[in-house]
Amino acid sequence: MSGWEQLSQYVMSGLTTGSIYALAALGFCLIYNATHIVNFAQGDFISLGGLMMYTLLGAAGLPALLALPLAVAVVAGLGVMLEALAIRRAKSRDLTVLIFITVAASALFRGVFKEIWGKQALAVPPLSPDVPLRFLGATLTPQNLWILAITLAAIAVLIYFFNHTLTGRAVRAVAINPKAAALMGIDTRRMVRLSFALAGGLGALAGAIITPITTASYHVGVMMGLKGFAAAVLGGYGNFLGAIVGGLTLGLLESLGAGALSSAYKDVIAFVVLLLVLFIRPRGLLGRGEEARV
């Protein structure tokens, strides 16, 4: 394999995992913007997305075109439940308490997943038959392309939603200034619930498209969720574009780092770069710090 082909291979694989980190990071941003809490159950949304695909595609034999939206809907529902049953009902409005509720919810989810799906790794069928393709010197599976395409499509839908629909703008208004939004008659609770649903849906999407490569298990999303969190911090926490840039950067760093040194160091390389970036730019790559007071 030539150097060019190797580089191309690392870049493609970095973009693939980076896409997953970006989707997870977007989930973190959505919930943070709506509520200012860090949702540590984001990784479990990813796990459930993969597990649902295992059941719906493999066991129930549904076509992918049906299984994927169904998996997304189920996990979006779990997101709404997390908000309605745990976050909303908490007696305390203290952010630390609310964040810990998500940590507890994450442990609970993992326990339930383990009861239902067991401990073993489960093979999830890919979205289309596994025929290796050559692309710019790299060898890819169709699943790699699915991941890139579905991530791009999800980002395009989000951009449209937040910039060109009234409901999307209302979600942004609640994030910018909840009191002023309420005074305009916007139901802030509904927008928060919608943010949890979207975060769940994005997590499910990430899990559904990556597990044909990694296999599914009750805890497969945990590490991906943490990397998504790191990606969100890298990009500037709460910034959507930052989440995407942060996710892809982290994926590329891991992949190129593993190629240049050893795959044993891939997590270390990624996190060292994350620390360096945060030393130089504590707000993250695209973070603007506090929204200008008006």
Partner 1 sequence: MLSVQSVDYSYGPVKALREVSLTVGPGEIVSLLGANGAGKTTLLSVISGLLAPARGQVLLGGQVLSGRKTSLVVEAGLVQVPEGRQVFGPLSVEENLQLGAYCRRGRQHRQQVSRDFEQVYHLFPPLARRRRQPAGTLSGGEQQMVAMGRALMAAPKVLLLDEPSLGLAPLVTREIFDIIKKLPEQGCSVLLVEQNALGALSVAHRGYVLTNGSIRFSGSAAEILGDRQLREAFLGPERFEGSTGNKP
Site residues, partner 1 (CB under 8 A): 166, 169-170, 172-173, 176-177, 179-187, 291-292, 294
How far does Cα 281 stand from its chain's mean position?
23
Report, in Å, the least distance between residue 195 CB and partner 1. Answer: 16
Report, in Å, the least distance between residue 95 CB and partner 1. Answer: 21
How far does Cα 210 stand from its chain's mean position?
11
Our CB check for partner 1 shows the closer of 168 and 221 to be: 168
- Residue 49 near residue 204 (C-beta atoms within 8 A): yes
E strand segments, the chain: 133-135, 138-140
Our CB check for partner 1 shows the closer of 10 and 240 to be: 240
Length of the chain: 294
Report, in Å, the least distance between residue 52 CB and partner 1. Answer: 33
Report, in Å, the least distance between residue 197 CB and partner 1. Answer: 19
Our CB check for partner 1 shows the closer of 186 and 202 to be: 186
Report, in Å, the least distance between residue 163 CB and partner 1. Answer: 9
Helix (H, G, I), strand (E, B) or coil at 38: coil
User: What residues have CB less than 8 Å from 171, skipping those under 6 apart?
Assistant: 34, 162, 191, 194, 195
Our CB check for partner 1 shows the closer of 168 and 207 to be: 168
Which structure tokens are listed for 281? Answer: 């730019």
At position 132, the amino acid (one-letter code) is P
Our CB check for partner 1 shows the closer of 70 and 191 to be: 191
